[in-house]
Structure 1
Amino acid sequence: MTDALPLSLDQADPKDRAMTRAMLYRMVMPDHLCPFGQKSKWLLEHEGYEVEDHHLTTRAQTDAFMEKHGVETTPQTFIEGERIGGYDDLRAFFGDAVKGEDETSYRPVIAIFGTGFLMALAVMWLAGLPLVSLETFTTFVAISMVLLGIQKLQDVESFSTMFLNYDLLARQWVPYGYIYPYGETLAGLLMIAGVLPWLSGPLALFIGAVGAVSVFKAVYIDKRELKCACVGGGSNVPLGFVSLTENLMMLGMGIWTLAQVAL
């Protein structure tokens, strides 16, 4: 396959344009197969383009290509002689908006809560219990607590830093930000197992109450626009109603668990 430079739009053969041909330059080396190059190739083919797939098989070849075209990264896509750019540029070219690093999204919490609910249904099904019941909801909340705790435990340091932006107790006592993920996960696990309610109930009640007050103050009183640490310190989830709901669910589970002990 030739590595000739792509023609400009004016020089491109009309016949080639009719065939919607694209030229892709990507790294395909013995020790590295560029994932964004693979994605670019798939996207082009998915959009109906005939792809001239040019492999950059050495570091020297890749550096020479980037210097020649004045670019700093590969892959690079050319359509009808015009350079489109890398994978994100290609997505934008096809009308797929690419979120920036600072843009917020509820996708992580939707994924966690959705998965937690399906897991709760699976548990109810396995146990032979009604799918629509109070037990399903309480199991869903407990599972969601564990899933959220796992996200925080992946990088406790990062979580505690973001948590300090709004949690009232962590601001007064920094170690609370490090303890929180373990407490949330432990409470959820104990509730799923149905053991030690005298521990899981007060733990969830305390965590949920402090969290709810902290989020309410930061969002609805102080009117601050912050990111929530609910799915870890590197998340782009906005602090707001969803975060408040998470804490209210834990608060409610704590009250429910203690009520069951009292009965």
Structure 2
Amino acid sequence: MAAVPDEQTLLNGIADIARAAGQVVMAVYATDFAVRGKNDASPVTEADERAEQVITAGLERLAPGIPIVAEEAAAAGRVPEMGERFWLVDPLDGTKEFISRNGEFTVNIALIEHGAPVLGVVLAPALGKAGHLYAGSRAAGAWVDEGEGRQAIHCRAVPAEGLTVVASRSHGDAAALDAFLAGRRVASTTNAGSSLKLCLVARGAADLYPRLGRTMEWDIAAGHAVLAAAGGQVCDLQGSPLRYGKPGLDNPHFVASGLPADR
């Protein structure tokens, strides 16, 4: 097996791969693309499939030998033995946002080691002139590039007026969210699509993202890596850190927070 590149080389490499996949996604976005249903009734487009091919090929060149768990391959039953280190890939998170053409969809690549996301990239290719690219790792911290170079990002201390809570634009459960937030000081609630919700917490634009519905590991791993690098965390509702490589690859309900511990 070839030697694994150092963390910074990996992070820069997956940023380049995400941008290449983003170009493919945007090429499809500009067309009158078709939408199909998968076995679980979720939508899929040519953009999902073509972007996954670009990412898989890029990761195999960047770090040969690391298993790749990717959404569309997994949907077809192709899940490799994961071991202690593997990639998690969602080539187009927020397919519903892609179909509705609101721009809030992302390309997601994360490296998992011993059950934790150690580095990741989230690219929103339709936001701004050049897309918004979030990245983070243990060594490099977290940063965003919105077309004018990299800017470091950090979670913030909660303002005195209370929490800014971010919720899913397409998968919300208002009653469950209200029950979860009962007793907390909430200043405002906002909505966003895809893994951008985790990135809003990472950059200090929000404080809390409760997800009280089904998600898969590839949906959030890259955003989790960015948030962790920015000083935040993702925990289940019992307060335990969210882990990856679980049987079935589905997540429990969770809370992404900019706080050292959810309060």
- TM-score scaled by structure 2? 0.23
More strand per residue: 2
Structure in which a larger fraction of residues adopt helix? 1
Report the TM-score, using the length of structure 1 for normalisation. 0.23
- Larger Cα-atom Rg: 1
